[in-house]
Every structure is written in C-alpha cells, then in structure tokens.
Amino acid sequence: MAEALFRDLVRERADYQVSSAGVAAAPGMPASKHTAALLKERGFNLASFQSRMLDRRALEQATHVFAMSSHHMAAIVDEFPEQADKVYLVSEFAAEDELRGRDVSDPFGQGRSAYEDTLRSLEKILPSLLAYIDQTWKKNDG
C-alpha cells in the first residue's frame, strides 16, 4: 500500500525509484485483497505486485529506507547495522502531531476498516516524507 501510494506521489519524477520489501514477508505473494480493492478504487492496479523480503542488496541500493513501525525499524537496524543511517520510521516527518513518530498499523489479517485506517494514515504521512527527502537529499546530492 505504501509503495503504491508513494510511487504515485513521484510518478512524474524520474529521479525517484520506489520499491518495498518486508522484514517478515512471504516472497511472491500478491497484495492482500483489501489493499488491492482499496487501491483499485483509487485507480491503482496491483496485479503485478509480489511481496519480497528485505535483503542486503536492496538496502545497499537504497538512499532511504522507511519502516512502518518501530519494531520493523529495529529489526532492520539489528540485521543490517551498517545501513542504520538511512533507516527512518515512515511517520517520522509527518506534519500532524498525532501521527508523527507513531507506528503505522499493519492491517494484515484484519477487516477492511483496518486497511482503510492504514490508507488514511499513509495518505497523510507520505507527502511530508517526500518533502523531507526533497529538502535534505537533493541538496546534498551533488
């Protein structure tokens, strides 16, 4: 869900490459039915999406890594400590105080309303995340 939404935010930006991976994902799985349905209602097609596990190569290629929860962030830093300086909580830069620094709920296995809550949170959080990257990374990118 986060990947599709962020990819849409930067759809006209050739300087961005967006991908996602999980710390405990079952590789090759499609998006959940609720994720696919909610995003289809917004014009996204996730038919080709397949989950994958986070690995060293993906981390080395990434300029920024955004974890959905503090637990996921800790797992990434624990497994790949040399990449810790590029790992952030996805809500770390949220404009709204009630979202900033909080975990984004993983709705997996829950009903549609839990997915809707996660979607609403991400729609509020991701523009601030993009602004953070634009304000910091591009200035330092030579």
From CA 67, how far away is CA 10, in angstroms rounded?
Answer: 19
Is the domain spanning 2-22+54-140 CATH 3.40.190.10? The answer is no
* CB contact set of 33 (below 8 Å; sequence gap of 6+): none
Q: Is residue 141's pLDDT more than 70?
A: no
Domain ranges of the chain: 2-22+54-140
Using CA atoms, how far residue 31 sits from 4, 37, 53, in Å, is 11, 9, 14
pLDDT for 138 equals 63
pLDDT at 73 over 80: yes
pTM above 0.85, yes or no: yes
Q: What is the overall mean pLDDT for the chain? A: 94
